[in-house]
Amino acid sequence: MKNAVLITLFLVLVLVCYGLIIQDRTDDVLDERSDSTEAIGLRDNFNGGCLNLELWQITRKGDFKESTVDVYDVDSSEKVDYRLRLRMNTIGTRDDTVKFHGVRSVEKVDFSDEKEISFDLDWNNQSNGCYLTASIYLCPTVTNGNPREENEWLKFEYVGVPPGHNVRCVIANKIDGNVKYLYTEDWPEQRTGRHIGYQRIKFIVDNKSLKIVENGKEIYNSHSHGLEFSSAYLYLQMSSHSNYPSREIYFDNVAITYRL
């Protein structure tokens, strides 16, 4: 009987100590979460299977044989992987125009305080990406056409490089109608470009500074981006020159977050 009592007391002490350890670990996790609490300004992974018109407005400029802006399941298996699809065919269209389409956010992004803007871009293994672009614009004005024609913006862009398998990255701003190139990957001296696939892009931006991260690697950092606006619409865009068959790119996991 005495041994049984001692064993019982020992087990109770073990359980009490274990409970205290678990509580300490739980408190640590809660503390970490509270230190890194984020608020969400916009988030869309397109899992609803259709374009959310409360978040996005379709934009178009130019003549097309085909212009498709929709949400599409890219997974051919029984699984589902919806993404924003931009698809364009320009066969037989005018040679003197570049064609643009995409979406813009319905609401403005205010980055007077620091915001993180992130998105995924799938270049879709283009067999011929010549004169094809995939872009994101921050532009303070509304257009249902081409944001590049507006007077002020910041853009991040991939441009297809001949003969069509590689791209180059461009970061530029436009202030009072004047375009300034901030990052060009040494174009035009370096013309070969590079291969890309599924790209994860992140902007960290406020009213003064800008940092851009590509696939976890910082590619641009400026303490003075020079922009004369601190709120903007978010445009996700694709463009193509004339006489190219159907090509498509995808955007996914668009998010705008900030620290509380």
**85-100 pLDDT per residue, tens:** 999 999 999 999 999 9
27-48 confidence digits (pLDDT tens)? 443 343 334 567 888 999 999 9
Its domain, for residue 9, covers: 1-36
Together in a domain, 139 and 238:
yes
Closest to 102 in 3D by CA, of 245, 230, 254, 222: 254
Together in a domain, 29 and 76:
no
Lookup: tokens for 8: 């019982």
Q: How far is residue 246 from each of residues 69, 88, 92, 249, measured CA to CA in Å?
A: 13, 5, 12, 10
Angle at 131 between CA 145 and CA 214, to 5 degrees: 85
* CATH number of residue 56's parent domain: 2.60.120.200
Q: Are 42 and 49 in contact (CB under 8 A)?
A: no
Contacts of 132 (CB under 8 A, 6+ apart): 126, 159, 160, 238, 239, 240, 244, 247, 249
Together in a domain, 83 and 211:
yes
127-171 confidence digits (pLDDT tens)? 999 999 999 999 999 999 999 999 999 999 999 999 999 999 999
Together in a domain, 18 and 85:
no
- Size (the chain), residues: 260
Together in a domain, 144 and 187:
yes
Together in a domain, 30 and 47:
no
Together in a domain, 20 and 73:
no
The domain tally of the chain equals 2
Together in a domain, 121 and 47:
yes
Q: What does the pLDDT read at residue 76?
A: 86
Closest to 88 in 3D by CA, of 254, 253, 242: 242
* Residues 45, 34: Cα–Cα separation, whole Å: 25
Q: Is the pLDDT of residue 5 over 50?
A: no
C-alpha 170: how far from chain center? 15
Together in a domain, 10 and 117:
no
Together in a domain, 121 and 5:
no
Indicate the pTM of the whole model. Answer: 0.85
Together in a domain, 89 and 19:
no
Task: Report which residue type is found at 13.
Answer: L
Coil/strand/helix, residue 80? coil
Closest to 169 in 3D by CA, of 186, 189, 154: 186
